[in-house]
Structure 1
Amino acid sequence: MRVQFSSKAFDYQTLRALAYAPFGGSEAGEVLTTVERVPDGDTEAWYEEWHRTAALVDGAAATALDSGRERTAGHALLRAHTYYRTAEFFLAADDERRPSTYDRSREAFRAGLDALGVASDRLSIPYEGTTIPGYLFVPDDREGPRPTVVCVGGFDSLAEELYFLCGVPEALARGYAVVLFEGPGQGAPLREQGLTARPDWEHVVGPVFDALEDEAAVDDDRLALVGVSFGGYYAPRAAAFDDRVAACVAFDHMHDLWRASAADAPRLATAMLYAPDAFVNGLARLGQRVSADSRWLMENSRWVFGVETAADLQRTLREYSLADDARRIDCPTLVLAGEDDHFVPVELADEFVDLVGESASRHVFRTEEGAGEHCQVGNLTLATDTIYDWLDETLVRPGSGTDEEGRRERAV
Structure 2
Amino acid sequence: MFEYFPDYYPWSLAVMSAMNRGGHISEVDEACRPLRDLPDKKGPAAQDAWLTSWARMAERVERLGQADEEAGHPLSAGRKYLRAGLYGLLAERMPSHHHPRRLAVYRRAIDSFARGMLCRGDDVELVEVPFGEHRLPAIFSRAPGGGRAPCLVHFDGLDLTKEIIYAAVAEEYRRRGVSLLIVDHPGVGAALRLLNLPAVPEAELWAGACVDYLETRDDVDAGRVGIAALSLGGYYAPRAAAFEKRLRCCVAWGAIYDYGAAVADRLGGTGEPSVPGFAEHLGWVLNTPTIEETRAVAARMTLEGVAEHITCPLLVVHGENDRQIPLWHAERTVERAVNAPERELRIFRRADGGAEHCGADNGTLVVDCMADWVATKLGANPAGARPNGRKRT
> Does residue 192 of structure 1 match 2:177?
no
Q: Secondary structure at the match of 2:249?
A: strand
1:332 matched to 2:335: no
Q: Which runs of 5+ in 2 are unaligned?
A: 382-393
Alignment of 1:384-399 (within 5 A): 384-396=367-379
Question: Structure 2: how far apart are the matches of 1:206 and 1:320?
Answer: 18
Q: What letter corresponds to residue 164 of structure 2 in structure 1? A: E
1:83-102 map, 5 Å: 83-102=87-106
TM-score (norm 1): 0.86
Residue in structure 2 matching 1:34, options 31, 49, 55: 31
Matched-pair contact (CA < 8 Å) for 1:177–1:217: no
Q: Which amino acid in 1 is paired with 2:180?
A: V
Is 1:146 matched with 2:127? no
Seen in structure 2, the aligned counterparts of structure 1 residues 351 and 208 have a Cα distance that, compared at 3 Å, is: same
* Amino acid in the other structure paired with 1:3: E
- Kept after mapping to 1: 8 A contact 2:320/2:327: yes
* 1:2-151 → structure 2 map (5 Å cutoff): 2-5=2-5, 6-21=7-22, 26-39=23-36, 40=38, 41=41, 42-140=46-144, 142-151=145-154
Q: Percent same amino acid at aligned positions? A: 28
The CA deviation string for residues 17-56 of structure 1, in whole angstroms up to 9 with x for no partner, is 11112xxxx1122112221211451212111110111111
Residue-by-residue CA offset, 1:346-395 (whole Å, 9 max, x unaligned)? 12211111111253210011112231111112211111110111123222
- The residue aligned with 1:176 is 178
Alignment of 1:341 with 2:316, yes or no, is: no
Give the Cα–Cα distance (whole angstroms) in 1 for the partners of residues 4 and 370 of structure 2. 29
- Whether the 8 Å CA contact 2:264–2:295 is kept in 1: the answer is no
Residue 381 (structure 1) aligned to one of 364, 385, 392: 364
Distance between the aligned counterparts of 2:336 and 2:123, measured in 1?
A: 40
C-alpha distance after superposition, 1:253-298 (max 9, x if no partner): 1121122234579xx64xx6xxxxxxx3xx44xx5xxxxxx33212
Instruction: State the TM-score, normalized to the length of structure 2.
Output: 0.90
Partner SS, residue 193 of structure 2: helix
Residue identity matched to 1:170:
E
More deviation in 358-367 or 247-256? 358-367
After the TM superposition, which of the residue ranges 95-104 and 328-337 deviates more from structure 2? 95-104
State the distance in 2 between where 1:139 and 1:324 align: 36
Count residues in correspondence.
371
In the TM superposition, residue 139 of structure 1 has moved relative to its aligned partner by 2.6
**What one-letter code is carried by the residue in structure 1 that aligns with 2:209?**
P
AA aligned opposite 2:249? A
1:369 to 352, 357, 365: 352
Contact kept, 8 Å, 1:326 with 1:356, in 2: the verdict is yes
Q: For residues 263 and 184 of structure 1, what CA distance do their matches in structure 2 show?
A: 24
Of 387-396 and 329-338, more deviation after overlay is shown by 387-396
Alpha-carbon distance, 1:194 to partner = 1.2
Cα displacement (A) at 1:120: 1.4
Distance 1:263 1:364 in 2: 22
Query: Cα offset for 1:316?
Result: 1.8
Partner of 2:390: none
2:347 paired with 1:350? no
1:205-224 equivalences under 5 Å are: 205-224=207-226
Question: What residue is the counterpart of 1:260 in the other structure?
Answer: 262
- Contact residue 184 and residue 191 of structure 2 kept, 8 A: yes
In the TM superposition, what whole-angstrom CA distance separates every residue of 1:160-219 from its partner, at most 9, and x where no partner exists? 111023x10111111111111111111111111211110001111101110111111111
Q: Contact (CA 8 Å) 1:340, 1:367: kept in 2 or not?
A: yes
